[in-house]
Amino acid sequence: MARYDLLGTLNWGDHLPFLKDFDLQKIRFTCSKLVPKVNRFVGSIIADHQADITQTNRDFVHVLLSLQGPDKLSHSDMIAVLWEMIFRGTDTVAVLIEWILARMVLHPEVQKRVQEELDAVVGGGSRALTEEDVAMTVYLPAVVKEVLRLHPPGPLLSWARLAITDTTIDGHHVPAGTTAMVNMWAIARDPEVWVDPLEFKPERFVGLENEFSVFGSDLRLAPFGSGRRTCPGKTLGLSTVTFWVASLLHEFQWVPSDEGNGVDLTEVLRLSCEMANPLTVKVRPRRGLSP
């Protein structure tokens, strides 16, 4: 139902105004059919929560419904927020995990170092990894940040801004109504910003002198955007990715598949910046588990 591909489709009507009214690619027509379905689907979630008087298991929707005063959201705004959480909270998380695992296969020495760190945090025995264990790691977060730098899932969509008045930026006239998109992919690979920008070096994020947040305070790496309209699910998304990657690396060793020519890092930009050829690898249990 989501049709993520529509959001990443090149719409010629956006670039050639005289084609806009013709809708030659049927993008506007298709979206007009999907919007009511989205509204009904997300609206049913809101209705179910409104009917849950006991609220025994409070969640994010209950929090939105509890907002009062100037923070209170309209029904349409609530649908927009929840739909953002649904589609951006699944697609980008899956894409980023795939990029991280691809890098682990290509860089076995990095994978080994992460696994050694996880083993040290967990200690002896065969217990499963916990969120508290992951919070104690140092090298794993550096690996995640380095993959976010080289393969940001939303290299353009996270930083869209609309000019509401005519303005001039660096000598260029920007008319009102212009949508500007910051290219995070280009910034993260700029040799004037990063040393050896094309090299995969998680170590660049290890050490107090290099610690910085990826949540928008340091514009060298802000994959979730920055400012008032930064991604609302950034903390949840990063925590989810880090925990799942930690669990997968703690349980398994990830090695190249016998088929094909190894891991292909070719990118394709759809809704997210994805692997053009899906990752195919072999896994081996690390803790005496059955295959």
Segment 209-258, tens digit of pLDDT: 667 889 888 889 999 888 877 887 888 889 999 999 999 999 999 999 87
Question: Count of alpha carbons within 13 Å of 15, Cβ hemisphere only?
Answer: 4
Please give the pLDDT value at position 275.
Answer: 92
Please give the pLDDT value at position 113.
Answer: 97
Asked whether residue 133 carries a pLDDT value surpassing 90, the answer given is yes
Query: Averaged over 26-39, what is the pLDDT?
Result: 87
What is the dotted CATH code of the domain comprising 91-291?
A: 1.10.630.10
Asked whether residue 283 carries a pLDDT value surpassing 90, the answer given is yes
Ranges of CATH 1.10.630.10 domains, the chain? 91-291
Q: Strands 172-174 and 267-269, how do they pair? A: unpaired
Asked whether residue 2 carries a pLDDT value surpassing 60, the answer given is no
Print burial letters for 139-163: b (CB count within 10 Å at least 16), e (below 16). bbbbbbbbbbbbbbbbbbbbbeeee
Query: Are the C-beta atoms of 206 and 138 separated by less than 8 Å?
Result: yes
Please give the pLDDT value at position 1.
Answer: 42
Whole-number Å distance between alpha carbons of 230 and 2:
22
What is the pTM (predicted TM-score) of this model?
0.79
Print burial letters for 79-103: b (CB count within 10 Å at least 16), e (below 16). bebbbebbbbbebbbebbbbbbbbb
Task: Extract the tokens encoding 22.
Answer: 């013709």
71 Cβ contact partners less than 8 Å away, ≥ 6 residues apart: none
Asked whether residue 34 carries a pLDDT value surpassing 70, the answer given is yes
Task: Extract the tokens encoding 63.
Answer: 């929090």
Q: What percent of the chain has pLDDT over 70?
A: 91
Among 2-16, 197-211, 217-231, 263-277, the least confident range: 2-16
Query: Averaged over 156-178, what is the pLDDT?
Result: 86
Query: Averaged over 247-270, what is the pLDDT?
Result: 86
Question: Which 3-state string (H, E, C) describes the chain?
Answer: CCCHHHHCCCCHHHHCHHHHHHCCCCHHHHHHHHHHHHHHHHHHHHHHHHHCCCCCCCCHHHHHHHCCHHHCCCHHHHHHHHHHHHHHCCHHHHHHHHHHHHHHHHCHHHHHHHHHHHHHHHCCCCCCCCHHHHHCCCHHHHHHHHHHHHCCCCCCHHHEEECCCCEEECCEEECCCCEEECCHHHHCCCCCCCCCCCCCCHHHHCCHHHCCCCCCCCCCCCCCCCCCCCCCCHHHHHHHHHHHHHHHHHHEEEEECCCCCCCCCCEEECCCEEECCCCCEEEEECCCCCC
